[in-house]
Amino acid sequence: MANQLSNLDQIFAALADPTRRAIVMRLCAGEASVGELAGPFEMALPSFMKHIHVLETSGLVQSEKSGRVRTCRLSADALVGAEDWFQQQRAVWEARLDRFEAYVMKLKKEKERAAAKRPSRTTERKGS
C-alpha cells in the first residue's frame, strides 16, 4: 500500500486542500467549465488543473472535454464511502460517550453512598 491510497484516503486527501474543497462546493451548485471554476483563484491554469486531476483521481469530480472546453461535475456517489465512515465513527464515539456517562454516574452514586454512611461533623461534635 506504499504508493496506493485507498479510495477513502484519496477522498480525504483531496478534500484536505481548501482550493479543492471550494471547487467541490462550487460544483454542488451544478456543473461548470474549468475556466469558470478557475476564475476565483489566483493561480495559473496548469496549477489549477492539478487540483482538478486530484479531484478526478479521487472520484469526486468527473470531467469531459467538448472542443476546447472541459466541463466538470460533482460525482456525489464518491462521498458515500466517506459518509459511511463518518457514520461508523459517530456510532463508535457515541457508544464510548454512553459508557463514559454510565461510569461517571456510577462514581457519583458511590460517592453519595459513601457520604451518606459517614457521620456528619455536627453529629460527631454532639457526641464528644
Q: 28-83, pLDDT tens digit by residue?
A: 999 999 999 999 999 999 999 999 999 999 999 999 999 999 999 999 888 888 88
Contact 62, 73 (CB under 8 A): yes
Residue 23 has pLDDT above 50, yes or no: yes
Quote the pLDDT of residue 128.
Answer: 52
The mean predicted confidence, pLDDT, of the chain is: 86
d(CA 48, CA 20): 9
Residue 5 has pLDDT above 80, yes or no: no
One-letter amino acid of 98: D
For cell 457515541, the residue is 94
CA 19 vs CA 7, 26, 49, 67, 87: distances in Å: 20, 11, 11, 26, 26
Quote the pLDDT of residue 124.
Answer: 55
Q: Which of 90, 81, 105 shows the shortest CA–CA distance to 15?
A: 81
Quote the pLDDT of residue 78.
Answer: 83
Per-residue pLDDT band for 125 (boundaries 50, 70, 90) equals low
